[in-house]
Amino acid sequence: MANNINKAGSAGVYGTTVYASAARTATPDTQEFELGTGYTGLTLVIDTTAAGTSPSTVVKVEGVDRVSGKVYGTLSSAAITGTGTVTLSMGLSSTVAANASANQAVPPVVRITATHGNSTTHTYSVALILS
């Protein structure tokens, strides 16, 4: 089970903060979102504003099966090692691009994790946009 569970409303554009901008040196708690009905697209916007000497953070979106309790991989960024903005997107109309987008249905429950590969400081925010 995720450390934090959030609920999204029914279809329409929905945006929320997954991780507020902060300097981090370790993997923060996972965030899980139970989505309302009608969402066909998901975008994560990862905005890195400061990076220590050699940070490495990978942001991952996973589906969660409430029946079995299993988590399954859907989309993962490449290692983020500097400043800038990275987007991850998924939906049935998305063009497939390694470590950037997946052409698949948005799961009804998603888990988002930002895994740090080392303890170098990394300042970033992650926003979730559903459509």
The pLDDT assigned to 10 comes to: 62
Q: What is the pLDDT of residues 77-97, one digit of tens each?
A: 999 999 999 999 999 989 999
Name residues of the chain where pLDDT drops below 70.
1-3, 9-13
The pLDDT assigned to 12 comes to: 66
CATH, residue 115: 2.60.120
CA distance 106 to 8: 13
Q: Which domain covers residue 116, as residue numbers?
A: 4-130
Q: How many domains does the chain have?
A: 1
Q: What is the pLDDT of residues 103-117, one digit of tens each?
A: 999 999 999 999 999
The pLDDT assigned to 4 comes to: 76
CA distance 49 to 82: 8
The pLDDT assigned to 6 comes to: 82
